[in-house]
Amino acid sequence: MSSWRILLAATVVTGCTASIDGAPAGTGAAAGISPASGTGSNPGMSGGTAAATGSGAATGTGAATGSGGSSSGSGGSGGTASGGSSGAAPSGGSTGIDTPACTPGIPATSQIPRLTNAQYDRTVRDLLGVTGLSASANAAPSTLLATDQAGSMSQLGWSAYQTVAQMLSAQVMADPTLKANFLKCTPTGDGSACLHDTIVAFGRRAFRRALTADEVSTFTTLVSQGAQVTADGTPDEVAEVLLNAFLVSPSFLQRSEISETPDSSGHYVLSGAEVASRLSYMLWGSMPDATLDQMADQNQLTTKAQILAQAQRMLQDPKARDMVAAFHRTYLLMGTNTRWDSASHDTSLFPGFSTAMIPVVAAETEKFFDKVVFTDSGSFQDFFTSTAGFVNAQTAPLYGLNASDYGTDLAPVALDKTQRPGFLTRLGFLTSYSSFNRTSPILRGAFVMKQVLGFDPGAPPADALNTPLPAQSSTLDTNRKQVDAQTSSQTCASCHHTFINPPGFVMEAFNAVGQWQTAEAGTGAAIDSTADVVIDGNPEHMTGPADLMAGLAKSAQAQRRYADLWVNFAYARTDNSIDACVVNDLAAKITKGGYTVLNLIADLTQTDSFLVRVPEVSQ
């Protein structure tokens, strides 16, 4: 079908169904959104300010000086740890955490973000059943879109949406199974009656709300003009143009919250459809299902109890496992171009390692978190105490297990509780946070202090990375002693000797590829895995990894850090004093014990801010 005809028809509908920025004037939408041109040129579609919620790829490298990074939505970022102080290393009983004071209220939430690329893929999957573009070797649809970004859309970004919409429309109409996900009936005659029913039913799902009368009229007009905008005017041709028009509409591409029903405080109460959308994109990274749509249409998403019931139901769906996994990838700084996918070790020193193991040990880590959260209904503490492992014939020897007892698939196993409690003792972390030919107490210790405890000692001296490791000698006969000497200068010691090195020294019980070790390779010197690790502002004496894991499990600092990252991720916001109240409440529940991760996630839907929005005010 002629692409110019499809573009013309889609442009007509796009210009009529909604402003391309997704919010008419006066609705309290985010300031600074460019107006729609209505011509198919750069429409200025707003990306809002919400960060990505589903990409799952952290960009932090976990290096000794920058392993932090709070996640804003599912695609967390590297950099300075959330809430961390940026000055010199604290002393005495300080935790090194600059926690925002709790200020009760409702954060401004009037942004109208576009679907992130990950959300776009999941939404297209759940709406149409498409997981890959047949015209692009079954690549995910978002591979042809511009990268995620906030603000007005570029001409290139808009063109990409148009191209993908045309490809999706053609693919759906050419496949009887996919076609049934769009058309609600079999067109007869000129097809107008069936296409009208499709407009109403499919539009409800695509826009995540019921269409207005004007929108139904506009799409119906497009159908009546089918002969002018298609080659032959057949029902299938018109249906393809209709689907394309839905897919380039701002009401599909954006998650608008524009209800203007005020409450007693002057906040805007979200409509049922808007609450359903918040739920689905928070917990699934995708559109609401039929149950949520029905609850919204029946006005059954107005109370916290009703929302909690739906959140608990949704957390049992496999789509929730995907989103929880995405969060833990940000928590662990996993993803493309991170330490997790670039581990490299000297196989002459570590013959049990190969680069083929990298995806295997990463998969084990993900299975560990999935088991703790979903299979075991576990808590934050279980991340550091569980002995659950998953091994295959390739990784078993590194765990001291017999390779012949395992195949190529990862199999569950209970590991030694004295050596392997918690995720930090698994091969994935240990191999990723090591150097090529030795362990790296600095990398491992920095991850523990910055990413797990949320402690940020500030930027290192400019020449820190150029400080050489002293050569091994009779007095420096272990890697630990060499690193201790390397960081002994006055500018390094205050942070490294007090905060960063100690947890890394405790983890010296594992070599560079994660094997348990009691003697230094090469010298035979005994491994010393004792250290005084500062947790919650106080030094605690640790005799090995099991002690460290127990200390982290009970750490209020680590518990608050985990809750804080979840709040950032779920609400797609960075730290602020209002959300600090939520973080405090969740952290207190974690500290009390018996509070599962699923409880925590469900409780993220129980805040006052989940039911209302506060317009942003231009400064």
Average pLDDT over residues 575-591: 96
Per-residue pLDDT, 13: 54
Report the C-alpha gap between 520 and 351 in whole angstroms. 16
Residues 342-390 have pLDDT tens digits of 999 999 999 999 999 999 999 999 999 999 999 999 999 999 999 999 9
Between 172-176, 184-188, 523-527, the lowest mean confidence (pLDDT) is in 184-188
Query: Mean pLDDT over residues 167-192, rounded?
Result: 95
Task: Return the closest-CA partner of residue 319 out of 118, 599, 148.
Answer: 118
Q: Which residue has the higher pLDDT, 80 or 308?
A: 308
- Look at 65-79, 290-304, 316-330, 459-473 and tell me which has the smallest mean pLDDT: 65-79
Per-residue pLDDT at 9: 53
pLDDT at 529 over 80: yes
In this prediction, residue 235 carries a pLDDT of 94
How far apart, in whole angstroms, are the C-alpha atoms of residue 362 and residue 375?
19
Cα separation of 326 and 295, whole Å?
27
pLDDT in tens, 384-406: 999 999 999 999 999 999 999 99
Report percent pLDDT > 70 for the chain: 84
- The distance from CA 490 to its chain's CA centroid, rounded to whole angstroms, is 39
Angle at 167 between CA 20 and CA 177, to 5 degrees: 110
State the pLDDT confidence band at 578, using cuts at 50, 70 and 90: very high
Q: What is the pLDDT of residue 92?
A: 40
Cα–Cα distance for residue pair 165/170, rounded to 1 Å: 9
Task: For residue 25, give every residue at least 6 positions away whose Cβ sits within 8 Å of its Cβ, in sequence order, or none.
Answer: none
Position 239 confidence tier, pLDDT thresholds 50, 70, 90: very high
**What pLDDT shows up at residue 10?**
52
pLDDT at 617 over 80: no
Would you state the pLDDT for residue 619? Answer: 52
pLDDT of residue 49 exceeding 60: no
Name the pLDDT band for 99 (thresholds 50, 70, 90). confident
Q: Is the pLDDT assigned to residue 57 strictly greater than 50?
A: no
Q: Cβ atoms within 10 A of the Cβ of 512, count? A: 24
Tell me what pLDDT residue 25 has: 31
d(CA 22, CA 190): 33
Q: Indicate the range of 52-56, 158-162, 228-232, 387-391 predicted with least confidence.
A: 52-56
Q: What is the mean pLDDT of residues 66-91?
A: 35
Q: Largest Cα–Cα distance in the chain? A: 92
